[in-house]
Amino acid sequence: MTTNGSGARILIVDDEPAIRKLLKVTLQAHRYTIGEASTGAEGVYLAASTHPDLVLLDLGLPDMSGMEVLKRIREWSSVPVIVLTSREREEDKIAALDAGADDYVTKPFGMGELLARLRVSLRHAAKSADEPILRFGSLSIDIAQRVVTLSGQQVKLTPKEYDLLRVLASHAGKVLTHRQLLQEVWGAGPYDADSHYLRVYIGHLRKKLEEDPTRPSMLVTEPGIGYRFIAAD
The span from the CA of 156 to the CA of 183, in Å, is 23
Give the pLDDT confidence of 8-25 residue by residue, as tens digits: 999 999 999 999 999 999
The span from the CA of 201 to the CA of 158, in Å, is 10
Query: In terms of pLDDT, which residue wins out, 77 or 127?
Result: 77
Strand order in the sheet with 81-85: 33-37, 9-13, 54-58, 81-85, 103-106
What is the architecture, at CATH level 2, of domain 9-126?
Answer: 3-Layer(aba) Sandwich (3.40)
Question: In the prediction, which pLDDT does 2 show?
Answer: 45
Question: In the prediction, which pLDDT does 132 show?
Answer: 78
The span from the CA of 133 to the CA of 110, in Å, is 34
Question: In the prediction, which pLDDT does 5 show?
Answer: 42
Q: Write the class of the CATH domain 133-229.
A: mainly alpha
Residue spans in the chain of domains classed CATH 1.10.10.10: 133-229
Across 103-121, average pLDDT: 90
Residue 67 has pLDDT above 90, yes or no: yes
Across 74-99, average pLDDT: 87
Give the pLDDT confidence of 32-66 residue by residue, as tens digits: 999 999 999 999 999 999 999 999 999 989 999 99
Across 75-100, average pLDDT: 87
Residue spans in the chain of domains classed CATH 3.40.50.2300: 9-126
Across 114-137, average pLDDT: 80
Question: In the prediction, which pLDDT does 193 show?
Answer: 53
Cβ atoms of 175 and 222 closer than 8 Å: yes
Residue 152 has pLDDT above 80, yes or no: yes
Nearest in space to 39 (alpha carbons), one of 65, 19, 21: 65
Share of the chain above pLDDT 90, in %: 63
Bridge partner list, 58:
84
Question: In the prediction, which pLDDT does 16 show?
Answer: 93
- For all residues of the chain together, what is the average pLDDT? 88
Question: In the prediction, which pLDDT does 197 show?
Answer: 81
Cβ atoms of 9 and 35 closer than 8 Å: yes
Give the pLDDT confidence of 179-219 residue by residue, as tens digits: 899 988 887 665 555 678 889 999 999 999 999 999 999 99
Asked if the peptide bond before residue 108 counts as cis, ω within 30 degrees of 0, the response is yes
